[in-house]
Amino acid sequence: MGLEEKIKEQDLKAENVFVASLLAGLNEFGILNQGIINLTGGRIGDFLFQFAKVKGFAISPFLSLEEQVKKAIVFLNERLRIGKVFVEFAGEDFFIKVYSSSCRFCPKGVGEAELEGTLCPFPKIFERFLELSCRNGIVVVPEDIDMKTLVKREGFCVIHYRCVK
């Protein structure tokens, strides 16, 4: 599927194409990799939390962790229009799953990056935003032998988190 079809099918906005193609282009020139994306993702999470506060977003500490996380992810997805995002809990661990073909910021899917791994900023963006908005220690749990912050499973980009209080 070409970019024109993706723009129509995913209802991409200029900012989606801008971000995804910027990430893909920086990678193509050898300037960007997942490690750098992870470092900057936390900073983006800080800025998005400041944005959220200015917009009146707050989470009650009386909600369960599950309710807090879901509320925070809904807020981010409504503002950023990431795509189809789901949260699944398993005890103190939880998984944020983005339906891969719906992600409007994907450097591969939208930016057409030619790379082996990922350039996804969301693992660390979500981690920092959740840590600040839920007032809990929340960390990405690296997966597989490669210690990836994001793995692809059954059409989803899956990010594993743990609450570490």
Give the relative orientation of helices 122-134 and 65-80 as an angle to the nearest 10 degrees: 130
Strands 151-153 and 138-140, sheet pairing: unpaired
Name the DSSP letter for residue 116: S
* Torsion angle, alpha carbons of 2, 7, 11, 17, to 10: 120
11-48 per-position pLDDT tens digit: 999 999 999 999 989 988 989 888 899 999 999 999 99
Residue 12 has what DSSP assignment?
-
d(CA 104, CA 79): 12
Domain boundaries of the chain, sorted by first residue: 3-164
Domain 3-164 has CATH 3.40.50.1100: no
pLDDT digits (tens, 9 = 90+) for 44-102: 999 999 999 999 999 998 999 999 999 999 999 999 999 999 999 998 899 999 999 99
Alpha helix (H) ranges present in the chain?
3-9, 14-28, 34-54, 65-80, 122-134
126 contacts: CB under 8 Å, gap ≥ 6:
45, 73, 76, 96, 159, 161
pLDDT(115) > 80: no
What does the pLDDT read at residue 87? 98
d(CA 30, CA 115): 11
Among candidate residues 55, 162, 29, 44, the one with its CA nearest the CA of residue 105: 44
Q: Is the pLDDT of residue 160 over 90?
A: yes
- Greatest CA separation found in the chain? 47
